Structure 1
């Protein structure tokens, strides 16, 4: 009997027998009983999860006859369970004893030797054999790191994984109709070995057919068709369909998208592609409110229109009011081109009063972005005009026409709640004083974060940030291209952007150099709540010679909400000898 069928029969037997015994009114009833099991740790854990004698312990008014029947079935049940883990000759003893008014069940298990794989016979039939070079490369790939190799311990889960993995490799390219035609695990319990046989029929070699798009009514079909790079007649590749589906679902005009291949059963064995989409609403209005210790209370209004000029262009307008900063932004984004690039034009107005520095900024520009798996690359040409008032009677009016390149790589196990992985951002750009700019400068900037699991539940987070603006006179460089530090997401224990170039009147001006770092450890406390301890160090200054690191240490709490991490910290700024409270939402980066 196949191993999975044994487990199914085991589960069904428990379900069917229990009601029959429960209806026996003559059998004494009990509300609890003890169980002692003697077995190796991994075996004991498996049995505790599946045996009826464990599942029924909390059942009230359980008939003694029912418990007795479960105990009598236990050796058979244990044998069936252990066979899934490669134990085919276990010795099992189970008995029940009455101790006064209660009962005690004793189970002793000697699992015996685990079965090992002696031979794996993998064969391919069908059209794949018409191309020996591709077939041999495929077999070499399958044998390179198999889930179940000769000499390995045999388990039902590893055998299932081997079959599934092998079939998926064949299905992923060319042979979309591949199937398993023979699967056998021949066990020799006396020798503790198993011989495996797996035969797969590749089926015919499939090529892409025509592409049919369904569901486009509100938006032009062209915005979807421009994302399709499946040339009719090219070989079928499943990952290309998955990538296309992901790309479509990221479009603001698309709510959901399903990309599927319809396989022809007759030569020339084409695979027509069917794309079914559900369109997103034409307009979207968003209102939000929040609070941050960096910029105080926050209110935001967003409006998006997804089909400007009936071309699928997306217009977005956003107004943000915060206690220390206010901004208005409008942009026009164009659909992704066949070469994978996005383009947009934008205009932004901003006003802020931070550390006694009153700044008003207007900027507009164009950007070009491409996403390649987990890497984003953006090139931006921007004109910026700024009014900077320190309140001392001197008003700076820097402006710049800058070209900036940004590269971001995200490699995280989970975007909302990462436990392992990295984020890294690198920027480089500049402006020329001879071209609509008050000062020639070159700006380099980078920051990164590392997430690393500690033990079974803890998380270590490390962060580095650094930058430098190469210019002669920072007063003629807009604030966006200079640096300040301090606050949540920077150096905690200090006020928001309070680390920089300090003027005589106490104003904190932006500097030309920046370096900050942070280490943090988080540990679960209760459900979605974590505790945190951290230490931050860094500063922003006019030059590296005047850069002085400032240390902040503290503790905090993290709530992993459905929309991301929300954190509250109490930090001590060593330089100022003051405690400060910080509140933030999102990743530490």
Structure 2
């Protein structure tokens, strides 16, 4: 059996109704199928506003399939909309009148628009949700009518909604706490008892608790009981997470080679004034870098500020420069949906051994600040948005530093969607350390470039200042990337790119290196994979760059 229908409805019918490929066993089977299918098509078309379809079955010559012809008829349009309010909102005040008019203005099914059942249901749900999100937690639809005139192909819509009374926040009712004090929960409450109910504050409260490592699940809600609207209880149901966690991970990058790591976390190592302190530690072994790290931190307060004390020991062997550094840091940090900031004091000692040059020791006590603004659609696989980062800090030889210096660094990344899947990516970074000499300044406060996320076509951190046979950090940095990614499927794509940049000891000697190439992109279950082949413009040398990581 074949289907004959206008394009406007044919796709819809074929999506929900299957037509047999083989001939019917007998006339009875065919009649049953046709009768059932006609009913299903009428019901399906009615959801799209077609209430007067004509459906006929036409037989053709022997050997040809019969044709089911569908003429949908005139599509129904909205002729009239009436939205009425009852309850507290209906009281005659300027504020209430303004809110009612705003709710009516947001109604999507206005006159002359086609009537669709799905849009009708969504419009009512949205109207109720918009009213219930602030003050009126018990709002409900009293009447909902869609009066259809098939002959005139018009629909008259009427909705009557009762706002109910204004709700006010009452006491917290917390359940599920065993190891932790209730103060851990109450310190994150964004509202005061007696304030007018707002759903966004309930959601913000829930999100703040979910971000804590102490809970595996969090539910914050109210019971919209009109009897308790003057002080409605807030129900907080918690499931505590395991306090201790161990994680193992492996990975590989052409920057630092094969990697293995072990991390240990304790969400309640020390309880300080009824506030648990988090402990985080990491042991990471890479072919070119080995790191041991430990950190003790407070939990974020109501304004999302936390304090941390950390220690780190690291050994590196990159481009014939060996370093062994020890550092201790004290920081105040803040993380929101879009912004991260950090202010801190760091003491660092570094033993530096460049091949073919004398060994040196650097020490610095640094006041450091760091800001990062993020506005992207997907933090792991960004397609639209940007990330901007600024770091500023320095030290003085008068306070536990071997040299006066000020370090400044800025980085910007931007993604633009192209077509349905493709992405254009731009990256730029600049750095400058103000000092009379680079000697005596730890490598962290100087600059090198090259490798993944820098200038491909060069080895990792191979752009810098030559000292003996080694490449060491300089006082200036400038790099940039322009990359286009075409996604062939949801998970596989190809990229073309150009990188440019250099790191030197002064702007006078700054000589940007250019590289370009292409690569493969894969959205793997373990994270993004990038495999690139880059060509240096000056020498024509080819270099492969690969990065992928997995955690268990």
Structure 2 length-normalised TM: 0.92
* Residues 117 and 550 of structure 1, relative CA distance in 2, 3 Å threshold: farther
1:379-528 pair list within 5 angstroms: 379-503=343-467, 505-526=468-489, 528=491
**1:49 pairs with 2:15:** yes
SS for the counterpart of 2:203 is helix
* Residues 407 and 89 of structure 1, relative CA distance in 2, 3 Å threshold: farther
Note the C-alpha offset of 1:174: 1.0
Q: What whole-Å deviation, never above 9, does each CA across 1:262-285 have from its counterpart, x for those lacking one?
A: 334325532201111111112111
Match of 1:157 in 2: 118
Note the C-alpha offset of 1:441: 2.5
Note the C-alpha offset of 1:464: 2.2
SS for the counterpart of 2:232 is strand
Query: What is the alpha-carbon distance in structure 2 between the residues aligned to residue 132 and residue 362 of structure 1?
Result: 67
Query: What is the alpha-carbon distance in structure 2 between the residues aligned to residue 396 and residue 225 of structure 1?
Result: 52
Query: What is the alpha-carbon distance in structure 2 between the residues aligned to residue 189 and residue 161 of structure 1?
Result: 22
**1:227 pairs with 2:188:** yes
Match of 2:45 in 1: 82
* Residues 79 and 210 of structure 1, relative CA distance in 2, 3 Å threshold: same
Match of 2:340 in 1: 376
SS for the counterpart of 1:490 is coil
SS for the counterpart of 1:151 is coil
Note the C-alpha offset of 1:541: 2.2
Contact 1:72 1:95 in 2 (8 A): no
Provide the aligned C-alpha RMSD in A.
Answer: 2.6
| Aligned partner of 2:201 among 233, 240, 244 | 240
**1:357 pairs with 2:295:** no
Contact 1:399 1:437 in 2 (8 A): yes
SS for the counterpart of 1:135 is helix
| Aligned partner of 2:501 among 529, 538, 545 | 538
SS for the counterpart of 1:474 is coil
SS for the counterpart of 1:175 is coil
Q: What whole-Å deviation, never above 9, does each CA across 1:449-477 have from its counterpart, x for those lacking one?
A: 22333222323332222222222212232
**1:308 pairs with 2:275:** no
Query: What is the alpha-carbon distance in structure 1 between the residues aligned to residue 254 and residue 162 of structure 2?
Result: 63
Note the C-alpha offset of 1:96: 4.8
SS for the counterpart of 1:104 is coil
* Residues 323 and 73 of structure 1, relative CA distance in 2, 3 Å threshold: same
* Residues 210 and 222 of structure 1, relative CA distance in 2, 3 Å threshold: same
Q: What whole-Å deviation, never above 9, does each CA across 1:549-573 have from its counterpart, x for those lacking one?
A: 2222222222212332122222222
Match of 2:142 in 1: 181
Query: What is the alpha-carbon distance in structure 1 between the residues aligned to residue 479 and residue 29 of structure 2?
Result: 67
Contact 1:264 1:270 in 2 (8 A): no
Match of 1:551 in 2: 514
Contact 1:176 1:206 in 2 (8 A): yes
Q: What whole-Å deviation, never above 9, does each CA across 1:5-27 have from its counterpart, x for those lacking one?
A: xxxxxxxxxxxxxxxxxxxxxxx
**1:142 pairs with 2:142:** no
Note the C-alpha offset of 1:352: 0.6
Gaps of 5+ in 2: none
Match of 2:6 in 1: 39
* Residues 52 and 556 of structure 1, relative CA distance in 2, 3 Å threshold: same
Q: What whole-Å deviation, never above 9, does each CA across 1:328-357 have from its counterpart, x for those lacking one?
A: 111101112233211111011111111111
* Residues 35 and 392 of structure 1, relative CA distance in 2, 3 Å threshold: same
| Aligned partner of 1:324 among 276, 280, 288 | 288
Query: What is the alpha-carbon distance in structure 2 between the residues aligned to residue 64 and residue 551 of structure 1?
Result: 76
Contact 1:424 1:449 in 2 (8 A): yes
Structure 1 window deviating more from structure 2 (513-522 vs 359-368): it is 513-522
Q: What whole-Å deviation, never above 9, does each CA across 1:147-185 have from its counterpart, x for those lacking one?
A: 333333332222222111111111111111111111122
Note the C-alpha offset of 1:526: 4.9
Note the C-alpha offset of 1:303: 1.2
Q: What whole-Å deviation, never above 9, does each CA across 1:91-122 have from its counterpart, x for those lacking one?
A: 4444354653xx52434444444333333222
Structure 1 window deviating more from structure 2 (535-544 vs 85-94): it is 85-94
Structure 1 length-normalised TM: 0.86
* Residues 145 and 264 of structure 1, relative CA distance in 2, 3 Å threshold: closer
Q: What whole-Å deviation, never above 9, does each CA across 1:217-275 have from its counterpart, x for those lacking one?
A: 12333222211233111111111111111111111111111111133432553220111
Match of 1:104 in 2: 65
Query: What is the alpha-carbon distance in structure 1 between the residues aligned to residue 497 and residue 69 of structure 2?
Result: 49
* Residues 444 and 139 of structure 1, relative CA distance in 2, 3 Å threshold: farther
* Residues 442 and 156 of structure 1, relative CA distance in 2, 3 Å threshold: farther
Query: What is the alpha-carbon distance in structure 1 between the residues aligned to residue 433 and residue 60 of structure 2?
Result: 82
Match of 1:11 in 2: none
Query: What is the alpha-carbon distance in structure 2 between the residues aligned to residue 178 and residue 370 of structure 1?
Result: 37
Structure 1 window deviating more from structure 2 (148-157 vs 479-488): it is 148-157
SS for the counterpart of 2:509 is coil
Paired residues in the alignment total 547
Query: What is the alpha-carbon distance in structure 1 between the residues aligned to residue 368 and residue 60 of structure 2?
Result: 79
* Residues 544 and 260 of structure 1, relative CA distance in 2, 3 Å threshold: same
Structure showing greater relative contact order (alpha-carbon pairs closer than 8 Å, 6 or more residues apart) = 2
* Residues 267 and 300 of structure 1, relative CA distance in 2, 3 Å threshold: closer
**1:337 pairs with 2:337:** no
Q: What whole-Å deviation, never above 9, does each CA across 1:383-405 have from its counterpart, x for those lacking one?
A: 22222221334233332222222
Query: What is the alpha-carbon distance in structure 2 between the residues aligned to residue 186 and residue 195 of structure 1?
Result: 5
Query: What is the alpha-carbon distance in structure 2 between the residues aligned to residue 443 and residue 120 of structure 1?
Result: 64
Note the C-alpha offset of 1:373: 2.4
